[in-house]
């Protein structure tokens, strides 16, 4: 008997190009049947008539550490696997124990000058220690938060070099002490990497029209990516930005990106400007409400900020539509996608719009449903070395997201055949942690289940269908 039978969905497998109505049979967390009609008995039958079944959505850039509800926010959007892009791992693990929703979660531990490294110019030996310690504690890899908390260019280059030497997965939010989170910072990051592979985070964030026109910046970014296929990438489709509200003893924001956005909208980059931006609704703080996370501005948001109840926020109208759509659809000369994944930079930041905005592009014929599935599951799975995911076929993990294409939303999802989202309601529990062999023991000590991967950034095949 099957454990689960998903009946009658428009089934989309980006690997093979299959796109047709089919039943999907699942046993022991694995897909065992995909056929026009599966007549075997099943413990649970899910009627998916009118829905599209795609491989479980993989969000390769989000943030769970700011609040335990972050995983719930991702699960509500149809995500079944995700990469937490700052850490630390112990905080993410604690949130997963208390509020896990059945997702597979990887953590990249971010370099924080003065906190987990000594300063802004750590040596190769100090970075080696940081990388090895992070992975042994259960992180899948590491990250440079250059846009927010930059290192020197020399130390940033050392980070890429040492990560590559140690075979560690490394991401970089472009920016150093001499270049910001913009197209100049992206160009500098590519140059400093000297042909080494790394994950260049949220490409659209460097093309906001800060240096040249938005389109000119997109075209330069595209040229850099075409010349450096060793770099793996993602972009997101929300107009909102993230705003870590870490402040100094005077209440002034420490994040370079937050300070830049305050200036852009006409506010001073200090405590007074931060509060006024919240009062005016330009910046919202993020607060828990009814088991989810909400954006709050005006007096209530400003009071929460002053009382220390808001650790993170979000600016609206930061990411231009030009760059968001450009990087979701742009191609390389061989016809493959220029940017490997559609992510969110969301989770605990309420902008989890992979399904909502991605299906809007499908509705506009900017992407086919197969292309959407490739960019939200198959290619992201390859980025992480997840050989069992991203594919709806016998023998593969039963990670499946069911989409209402017309309504631009995720209706249901299953991870390893277990329900995560049903009729728009998060029902999943637990889940696993993606880590390397070196970190598996730490994951078990935390009371969680490790899913061991090789680690590092594999040579990426971008072809599908």
CB 418 within 8 A of CB 430: no
CB 342 within 8 A of CB 236: yes
Question: In terms of Cα–Cα distance, which of 240, 245, 348, 258 is closest to 294?
Answer: 348
Domains detected in the chain: 2-54+390-444 (2.30.40.10), 56-246+312-384 (3.20.20.140), 247-311 (no CATH)
Q: How confident is the model at residue 424, as a pLDDT?
A: 87
Q: How confident is the model at residue 260, as a pLDDT?
A: 93
Q: How confident is the model at residue 150, as a pLDDT?
A: 96
pLDDT in tens, 37-69: 999 999 999 999 999 999 999 999 999 999 999
Low-confidence ranges of the chain (pLDDT < 70): none
And the tokens for 61? 């850039």
Overall size of the chain counted in residues:
465
pLDDT in tens, 287-343: 999 999 999 999 999 999 999 999 899 999 999 999 999 999 999 999 999 999 999
Q: Which residue has the tokens 């991605």?
A: 358
And the tokens for 380? 């992201």
CA–CA dist 201, 223 (Å, integer): 16
Q: Is the pTM here over 0.85, yes or no?
A: yes
Q: How confident is the model at residue 426, as a pLDDT?
A: 98
- Cβ neighbours of residue 105 under 8 Å, at least 6 residues apart? 64, 71, 81, 82, 83, 84, 92, 96, 431, 432, 433, 434
CA–CA dist 417, 3 (Å, integer): 8
Q: Which residue has the tokens 């995720």?
A: 410
Pairing of strands 2-13, 52-55: parallel
CA–CA dist 440, 453 (Å, integer): 10
């Amino acid at each position: 008997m099957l454990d689960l039978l998903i009946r009658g969905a428009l089934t989309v497998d980006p690997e093979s190009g299959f796109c047709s109505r089919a039943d999907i049979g699942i046993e022991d967390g694995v897909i065992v049947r995909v056929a026009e009609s599966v007549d075997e008995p099943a413990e649970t039958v899910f009627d998916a008539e009118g829905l599209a079944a795609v491989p479980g959505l993989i969000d390769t850039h989000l943030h769970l550490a700011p609040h335990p509800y972050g995983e719930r926010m991702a699960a509500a959007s149809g995500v079944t696997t995700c990469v937490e892009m700052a850490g630390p791992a112990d905080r993410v693990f604690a949130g997963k124990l208390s509020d896990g929703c059945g997702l597979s979660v990887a953590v990249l531990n971010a370099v924080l000058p003065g906190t987990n490294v000594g300063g802004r110019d750590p040596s190769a030996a100090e970075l080696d220690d940081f990388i090895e310690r992070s992975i042994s504690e259960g992180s899948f890899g590491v990250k440079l938060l250059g846009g927010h908390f930059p290192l020197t260019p020399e130390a940033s280059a050392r980070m890429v070099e040492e990560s590559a030497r140690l075979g560690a997965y490394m991401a970089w939010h472009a920016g150093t002490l001499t270049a910001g989170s913009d197209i100049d910072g992206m160009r500098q990051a590519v140059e400093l990497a000297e042909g080494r592979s790394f994950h260049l985070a949220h490409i659209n964030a460097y093309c906001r029209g800060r240096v040249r026109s938005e389109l000119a910046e997109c075209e330069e970014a595209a040229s850099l990516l075409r010349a450096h296929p060793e770099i793996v990438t993602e972009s997101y489709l929300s107009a909102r930005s993230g705003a870590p509200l870490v402040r100094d003893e005077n209440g002034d924001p420490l994040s370079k990106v937050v300070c830049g956005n305050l200036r852009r909208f006409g506010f001073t980059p200090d405590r007074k400007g931060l509060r006024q931006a919240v009062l005016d609704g330009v910046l919202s703080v993020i607060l828990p409400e009814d088991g989810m996370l909400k954006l709050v501005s005006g007096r209530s948001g400003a009071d929460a900020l002053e009382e220390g109840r808001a650790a993170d926020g979000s600016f609206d109208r930061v990411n231009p539509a030009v760059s968001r759509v450009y990087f979701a659809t742009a191609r390389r000369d061989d016809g493959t996608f220029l940017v490997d994944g559609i992510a969110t930079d969301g989770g605990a930041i309420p902008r989890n719009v992979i399904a909502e905005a991605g299906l809007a592009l499908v509705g506009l014929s900017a992407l086919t449903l197969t292309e959407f599935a490739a960019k939200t599951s198959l290619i992201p799975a390859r980025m992480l070395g997840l050989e069992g995911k991203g594919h709806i076929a016998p023998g593969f993990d039963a990670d499946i997201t069911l989409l209402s294409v017309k309504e631009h939303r995720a209706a249901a999802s299953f991870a390893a055949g277990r329900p995560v989202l049903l009729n728009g309601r998060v029902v999943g529990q637990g889940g696993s942690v993606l880590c390397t062999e070196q970190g598996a023991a730490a994951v078990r000590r935390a009371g969680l289940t490790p899913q061991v991967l090789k680690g590092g950034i594999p040579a990426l095949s971008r072809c599908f269908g």
